[in-house]
Structure 1
Amino acid sequence: MTGPDPAAHTAVSPAAAATDTGTAREAADTASVVGTPTAVAQDALARLFARCAAIADDWEGPQPDKWRAMLTDTLAEPALQTDAARAAFEQQLVTVLASGWRPGHDALFWVAPSAFGWDTAPATLLRHGAAGERLQQALDEQRTFDQQVDRLRFLQRYIAGRLRRPELPSDEELLYRVPHAVDMVRRFPTWTATITDLSALDRWTARYATLPKARALPAPGDTRPWSPDVESNRALAWIVIGTVILLTAIAIISRLGEKRGPPPRAQMSFSNTEPVSVPPPASAPSK
């Protein structure tokens, strides 16, 4: 009996190969769907964070189109099309984001609220327990942050991004950035813990404390009003105050001088001189 032709198994058309690949993918998706919702969610979240890690260094600001697309693609996977799997995925994402910053968490925190409706319906977060409450607090702090003047908001966003970079800033940059960074974390503790690396701030402040020009910083937990701008401009403020006092004193002295009037004209005195006798004009000689 003649056996099957080996070439019949090796020569596969591109269309057939594509069909086989698609069938394998569908089989894998089906296997994922029939798993427990928790297992399905864990697999989907692992794939999402693997993609996030690949572009974590590319995100430079509030335009994370890549991150939004990745989250949208993940939510569109067949394995997450059941209510149970979608709920488990959301729960696990909330738990991970609330546990503290990791590379990519900042961008996911930016895009996830609109994807899951957290920004418009807080109850959707609160149903996730303590982790949901923490993320809701972070969102509330972010709204307050966004209400600041543009100059301060842009500066603090830069600092948050700078904290996510591993290298330590220069001493000159630390002198300027650290007071603002400390104030930002003091005012928005939950939000900053979610979107940036607070362990880097510990390294910043440790180096800052060794610098000769370092200023006093508010103590941890100190809620008294404090502004790094006011602290940094204290010397300038005293200079301005001193200048105002000096100019005011000059103006007062000038006005007093005007009220007294001009000094009397000097009178010429000849008391120490003998009277001068002027001889009469000589008479003309008679003819």
Structure 2
Amino acid sequence: MMRVISYDHLFAARRARTGTWIFSDFDRLDFWGLELAGRYARALRSAGARVLNHPALALQRAALLKQLNKAGINDFGAWRPVDGEWPDRYPVFIRTIAAHRGVASGLLGSEAEVRTEIDRLTALGHPLGDLLIVQYHTQEIADAPGAFRKHAAYVVGGRFVPGPIVTDTHWCAKEGVLGTAREEHYLFERDYNDSRPHAELLLDIARRANIDFGRIDYGIVGDRVQVYEINTNPHIRRLKSHHSATRMETIGKATAELVDALAALDQPAEGIARVDETGLAPADIAALPRPLGPLLSRLSRLQWSRWVP
């Protein structure tokens, strides 16, 4: 059985049963919430739980992109203006570091354009520390000018599971545009997912990021994999209908494999983990969330849960 627990609910409890825990969406936490999540992950592991995505160790978006570029895996750069970093290659775009909002700007071709756009975004209330400048690096599908392809792959406790390919008319392929992909593109998706030519590389990238569960979103530029993000709380749903029988078969196989991989993570919840408050100041302990009533607890789970079985 899988149960979704909000961070507020977890922090208020001060203890948790063991079993298997997947920490997700920790990029949405503030520094205090991130430290608390790390303490709970440590307590759970010490008590014998299987913990995926240790919040104190997993790389978030900006650090991941920087390290992949430094390692020669990604061919595009990323810069944090809050640290006084500015691009030396163009075009670029701006996006937020936290959450999954997509791009916050169009393509920008100079430092002057970047500074103007940052002034606009901060005037709207976007914190400078949450803005990331990313180099544009993608390509159109060879036989479909004006269309772009985004690949996806799940990592589940060290296991690789292929995900659906998004075909979009926007260079930041996110949801896809119905009618953009043709049957030959669905055949490509089937063959690519069956052969899994980049599985080992993508698993290595997840290990570098200290991420045990998530969906890797990436493109292929030339013949090189380019990773854009690892989403630790991906939207997962079954494809109920589609005009292409090929795509239905491909997505159906991948979904069944993903469910099987998640089920394999399960282990008995035979112990209790208690959070270690060592090193916390009295004011820090007083600031911990208080236990929620039954109704508020339920509402909190509903507000924060994005899991779709």
Structure with the bigger percentage of helix? 1
TM-score band w.r.t. shorter chain: under 0.3
Select the structure of larger CA radius of gyration.
1
Structure 1 length normalisation: TM-score?
Answer: 0.26
Bigger strand fraction:
2
Q: Which has the higher contact order (CA 8 A, sep 6+)?
A: 2
TM-score, L = length of structure 2 = 0.25
